[in-house]
Amino acid sequence: MTILKLAGISHHYFSKNGYTKALEDISFSLERGEFISILGPSGCGKSTILSIIARLLQHTSGDIFIHEVPIKESKEEIGYMLQQDYLFPWKTVLQNVLLGPKIQKREDEAIEDRANVLLQEVGLSNVKNQYPTELSGGMRQRAALVRTLMNNPEIFLLDEPFSSLDFQTKLKLEDLVATILNQYEKTTILVTHDIGEAIAMSDRIIMMEANPGRIVKIYDVPTELRAESPIVARKHDAFQPIFDTIWQELEKKEKSGEGI
Amino acid sequence: MKPLKDEQLYEAYQKGLKKERKIVLTWQVGIAVIFFLCWEISSRLYIIDPLLFSSPSKIFDLILTRIANGSLFVHVSVTLFETLLGFLIGTIGGVLIATSLWYSNRFANIMDPYLVIFNAMPKVALGPILIVALGPGYLSIIAMGFIISVIVTTLVVYRAFLEVDRNYTMVLRSFGANQSQIFKEAIFPASLPVMISTLKVNVGLSWVGVIVGEYLVSKQGLGYLIIYGFQVFDFSLVMASLVIIAILAALMYKGVEKLEAWLMKHTK
């Protein structure tokens, strides 16, 4: 079942002194439960794609369908996790997690129970009444994950959510996120510039180039890696070959002057 | 020499702190005492003209008699009332205007030149207009206290609204929040520290507005006492009023500081 379909998406950023073409003719589609990564140099419009799917930006041309309904008419919830956690410092962890339901005016006991269950699942139930500043980076990002999960979105957008964490925390969190998204059968797009992370977590990898943002290639991650959790996948025999292939492709881009 | 134990080191550190506090306090008190002593002595020895500069003892006497016959209380309460009201209306008004500017980008763009002009304008120059429009009474004076703080508040708070990290707004919009929800959940709480710090600035500004207002029209209040003292050449009265204003303004400032600390603690 195709959940998300982008067909010929382009996006321009306009300013007083002209415009830049951030995206050109982006097309791909996602099946239910699929996990794809978008990999590419900075400025290739990776985050712009997510903002468009999250309805925070209006694309300038092309069509997007969610469940075959045009995105404008679709009521589908979309979960968006940013580079930093952006927990509200004046709210406790629990209040932060309940922000989505509060905005949508559907706070009730069932929702609160769900929040408690999810917090328990990510190991935060003992700090739920503390403020975000009292938590470590990894804990904060876990709280942000729960906040995004609360609205039960089918499509999950992750915008480099692990990039601000130390390596060990990052690996652990990758595992946790992969497990939870798998368990709830979420369809996910991860934006990253970490090749290893993309391979370890996803089913397919979309490689992009910059100026303008275009899709260069789409890689299928070997099936034996997909089945494994990220930490195990990183140590798998099939990991290094695809890593090298993607690495070389990125290097080639860089040499021809189109890279970073 | 034997190395000191942890507790001993800590005790030494605390002793150092205490000593430093004592030195600072001694100097603070010393400066005040020397200042008033010099003033008193030079006034008595006619080094300065006692008719113009009065002397601490005369001022003290005057304040005591004025307290005793109750005439000081009336003036103090009038001025305090006007200042507090001007301060409150100015601050709240400024925040409200800033809010409306934030709600509509277009409104903000339209208002921009007017805000610049109003901000650059010396507000006390509007005094005569206020008196003509609102009559020579409390209303004009309170309006003066208001007008002098409202524009600065508007500009500072509006800037704070705009500087709130856009990603908080993004998070809320991804949940489908509308403009007022974004304001309530992100913009307002994130700008609270700035709003609280404008309170402190506004205390000072409202005093300026009210005293100037009283210079111009009133028949009561500390500003009136200063002008009256000046006109009848009673400089003890002028000085006494200044001393009382200094004390009250400092107390009010301290009060706002306490309020700030309390608000910061309860709205983190």
Q: What is the mean pLDDT of residues B136-152?
A: 88
Is residue B29 very low, low, confident or very high in pLDDT (cuts 50, 70, 90)?
very high
Tell me, yes or no, whether A166 lies in a domain.
Answer: no
Closest CB to B175 among A86, A88, A99 = A99
SS3 content of chain A, % helix, strand, coil (to 5): 40, 25, 35
Closest-approach residue (CA) in chain A for B166: A86
List chain A residues with CB under 8 Å of B189.
Answer: 88, 90
Query: Tokens 């406790």 belong to which residue?
Result: A92
Local structure of A35: helix, strand or coil: strand
* Residue bearing the bigger pLDDT, B98 or A227: B98
Task: Find, among B227, B219, B188, the residue nearest to B98 by Cα.
Answer: B188
CA distance A232 to chain B (A): 32
pLDDT band (50, 70, 90) for residue A241: confident
CB A207 within 8 A of CB A215: yes
- What gap in Å lies between CA B68 and CA B71, rounded to an integer? 8
Distance from CA of B190 to the nearest CA of A (A): 8
Q: Which of A82, A103, A131 sits opposite B175 (nearest CB)?
A: A103
Put simply, the answer to whether B175 touches A88 (Cβ < 8 Å) is no
The residue among A13, A32, A14, A33 whose CA lies nearest residue A22 is: A13
Q: Please tell me the distance from the alpha carbon of residue B122 to that of residue B133, in angstroms, as a whole number.
A: 18
Residue B251 contacts by C-beta under 8 Å, 6 or more apart in sequence?
none
State both tokens at B234. Answer: 């009673």
Q: What is the pLDDT, as a whole number, of residue B127?
A: 85
Rounded CA-CA distance A212/A61 in Å is: 14
What's the CA gap between A141 and A84, in Å, rounded? 7
Q: What residue spans define the domains of chain B?
A: 6-48, 70-266
Tell me if B174 and A89 make a contact (CB, 8 A cut-off): no
Does pLDDT of A259 surpass 60? no
pLDDT exceeds cutoff 70 at A101 = yes
Element (H or E) spanning A7, and its range? Answer: strand A2-15
* d(CA A106, nearest CA chain B) in Å: 12
Phi, psi of A65 (to 5 degrees): -120, 135
DSSP E strand boundaries for A16-141:
18-31, 35-39, 61-66, 69-70, 78-81
Task: Give, in words, the CATH class of B70-266.
Answer: mainly alpha
What pLDDT score does B89 carry? 93
| Cis peptide bond upstream of A41, omega within 30 | no
Given this model, what pLDDT does residue B1 score?
Answer: 59
- The one-letter amino acid at B195: M
Torsion of CA A231, A232, A237, A239, to 10 degrees: -40
Chain A residues with CB under 8 Å of a chain B CB are: 54-56, 78-80, 82, 84, 86, 88-90, 99-100, 102-104, 131, 151
Residue B95 is predicted with a pLDDT of 93
pLDDT at B266 > cutoff 80:
no
Which residues are paired to A258 by β-bridges?
none
Question: Does residue B267 have a pLDDT over 90?
Answer: no
Predicted local confidence at residue A256, as pLDDT:
63
Q: How far is CA A21 from the centre of its chain?
A: 22
State which residue of chain B sits closest to A87, comparing Cα positions: B168
Which pLDDT tens digit goes with each residue over B181-221?
999 999 998 998 888 888 888 888 888 888 888 888 878 88
Structure tokens at B258: 């306490």
Q: What is the pLDDT of residue A177?
A: 85
Residue A161 DSSP SS3? coil
Please give the average per-residue pLDDT across A91-114, as a whole number: 88
Widest CA span of chain B, in angstroms?
Answer: 81
pLDDT at A260 over 50: no
pLDDT tens-digit profile of B15-24?
999 999 999 9
Nearest to B176 among A86, A90, A103 (CB): A103
Report the candidate in B256, B98, B115 with the shortest Cα–Cα distance to residue B187.
Answer: B98
ipTM over 0.90: no
Tell me the shortest Cα–Cα distance from B268 to chain A, in angstroms.
5
Min distance B14 CA to chain A CA atoms (Å): 28
Nearest to A104 among B170, B176, B189 (CB): B176
Give the integer Cα–Cα distance in Å for B157 and B193.
Answer: 10
pLDDT (average), residues B136-162: 90
Structure confidence at residue B35 (pLDDT): 93
Backbone angles phi, psi at A59, to 5 degrees: -70, 155
A88 with B267: Cβ contact below 8 A: no
- The answer to whether the Cβ–Cβ distance between A86 and B165 falls below 8 Å is yes
Average pLDDT over residues B104-131: 89
Mean pLDDT of the region A116-127 = 86
Distance of alpha carbon A71 from alpha carbon A5, whole angstroms:
10
Give the total residue count for chain B.
268
Q: Which of B168, B177, B181 sits opposite A86 (nearest CB)?
A: B168
- Residues whose CB is less than 8 angstroms from the CB of residue A43 and which lie 6 or more positions away in sequence, other chains included: A210, A211, A213
Q: What H or E segment, with its residue span, contains residue A119?
A: helix A109-121
Contact A78 B186 (CB under 8 A): no
Q: Over 80: is that where the pLDDT of A35 sits?
A: yes
Per-residue pLDDT reduced to its tens digit, B59-94: 898 889 888 888 888 889 989 999 999 999 999 999
B239 has pLDDT over 70: yes
pLDDT in tens, A171-216: 888 888 888 888 888 899 999 888 888 888 889 999 888 888 888 8
* Residue A93, min C-alpha distance to chain B (Å): 13
Q: What is the pLDDT of residue B107?
A: 93
Number of C-beta neighbours around residue B16 at 10 A: 10
Domain carrying residue A111 = 83-153
Between positions 178 and 207 of B, the ones with CB within 8 A of A are: 181, 185-186, 189-190, 192
Minimal Cα distance from B180: which residue of A? A103
Contacts of B168 in chain A (CB under 8 A): 86, 88
Chain B, 150-179: which have a CB under 8 Å from a chain A CB?
A: 165, 167-168, 170-177
Percent of chain B with pLDDT over 70: 97
For residue B74, the SS3 value is: helix
Given a cut of 60, is residue B5 above it in pLDDT?
Answer: yes
Distance of residue A65 Cα from the nearest chain B Cα, in angstroms: 18
Confidence band, pLDDT 50/70/90 cuts, at residue B268? low
